[in-house]
């Protein structure tokens, strides 16, 4: 019989010990929750840092040629709406420097603008290919577009460029949907439209003039406050 009484007594002691353990567990759980929150907040600020996606225009230039090559017997170039094709080509570089996330930049539209006239008019509007960037990867998209003038404003620029003149103070406005994917395979941000401005861009001109090493132009993220 005595052992039973002992057991009851010990049971009582164990209960109070368990109560202490329970309290300790709550404290640990609370601390872990706080830690998890801190990690999540840190992860979100790091993962969503929009400056992570680099967009740039190689050599800061768009080269222009009269479509159809250098046929000396072709009639003098005289653009009008729907007539007089030019070929524009340039390379857009996208870099994802992050070692953790993938970045998608989709539904991308670019507008090449000249600010020679007071109302900076669009010289060319075009669609850029989607890019899908794994961690620490880079993609160069070579853009080649052959087109005639679609609106009256473009005709002036087309004739000027066909003549070998260049527009030295142009800019390219890029707009696309940026999506960030953490490596667990979840997209953290959806359908954020992000604007980049690339300036200054040289459009056209004699290729032999480019002997001075042209530098790549980094486009600035317009959703970010200007930083150093
Ligand atoms: C270019 O074509 C327009 C009509 O489309 C004509 O009026 C103009 O004189 C032409 N210019 C040259 C330099 O041939
Ligand atoms: C064109 O843009 C440059 C730089 O943004 C500026 O310095 C220049 O004054 C602009 N020119 C005109 C005609 O707006
Ligand atoms: C000229 O440009 C138009 C519009 O982009 C295109 O449909 C057409 O095929 C081009 N013509 C030539 C001869 O390349
Ligand atoms: C093209 O260049 C020629 C001579 O180099 C010039 O006479 C003509 O006016 C220029 N045309 C345009 C549209 O700039
Ligand atoms: C994330 O978004 C991109 C671009 O819209 C899409 O291609 C990809 O499949 C998405 N990933 C997930 C895991 O939903």
pLDDT tens column, 7-24:
554 555 656 666 666 777
- Categorize the per-residue pLDDT at 1 as very low, low, confident or very high, splitting at 50, 70 and 90: very low
- As a whole number of angstroms, the distance between CA 160 and CA 158 comes to 5
Q: Confirm or reject: Cβ of 160 under 6 Å from ligand 4.
A: yes
DSSP 161: H
Q: Which residue has the tokens 């080649």?
A: 144
Q: Where are the domains of the chain?
A: 1-47, 52-221
Q: Confirm or reject: Cβ of 80 under 6 Å from ligand 1.
A: yes
What spacing in Å lies between the alpha carbon of 162 and ligand 4's midpoint?
Answer: 9
Contacts of 81 (CB under 8 A, 6+ apart): 148, 149, 150, 151, 152, 155
CA atoms within 13 A on the CB side of 33: 6
For the whole model, what pTM was predicted? 0.72
Q: How far apart are the first and last CA of the chain?
A: 82
Q: Closest Cα to residue 48, out of 161, 190, 157? A: 190
Mean pLDDT value of segment 194-212: 80
Atom of ligand 1 nearest to the CA of 76: 14
Tens of pLDDT, residue by residue over 109-149, are 999 998 665 556 789 999 999 999 999 999 999 999 999 99
Best residue among 117, 119, 169 to mutate for probing ligand 2's pocket (most ligand atoms within 8 Å of CB) is 169
Q: How far is CA 224 from the centre of its chain?
A: 12
- Categorize the per-residue pLDDT at 51 as very low, low, confident or very high, splitting at 50, 70 and 90: low
Kindly tell me the burial class for residue 141, based on how many C-beta atoms sit within 10 Å of its own C-beta (0-12, 13-18, 19 or more).
middle
């Amino acid at each position: 019989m005595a052992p039973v009484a002992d057991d009851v007594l010990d049971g009582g002691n164990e209960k109070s010990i368990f109560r202490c353990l329970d309290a300790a567990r709550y404290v640990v759980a609370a601390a872990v929750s706080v830690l998890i929150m801190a990690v999540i907040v840190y992860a979100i600020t790091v993962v969503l840092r929009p400056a992570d996606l680099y967009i740039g225009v190689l050599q800061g230039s768009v080269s222009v040629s009269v479509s159809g090559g250098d046929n000396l017997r072709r009639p003098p170039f005289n653009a009008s709406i729907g007539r007089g094709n030019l070929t524009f080509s340039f390379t857009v570089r996208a870099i994802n420097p992050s070692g953790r996330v993938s970045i998608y930049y989709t539904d991308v539209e670019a507008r090449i603008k000249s600010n020679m006239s007071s109302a900076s008019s669009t010289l060319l509007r075009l669609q850029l290919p989607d890019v899908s960037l794994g961690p620490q990867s880079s993609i160069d998209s070579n853009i080649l577009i052959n087109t005639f003038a679609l609106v009256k404003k473009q005709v002036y620029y087309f004739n000027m460029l066909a003549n070998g003149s260049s527009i030295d103070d142009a800019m390219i406005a890029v707009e696309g949907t940026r999506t960030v994917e953490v490596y667990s395979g979840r997209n953290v941000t959806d359908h954020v439209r992000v604007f980049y401005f690339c300036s200054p861009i040289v459009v056209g001109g004699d290729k032999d003039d480019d002997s001075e090493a042209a530098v790549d132009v980094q486009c600035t993220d317009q959703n970010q406050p200007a930083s150093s």
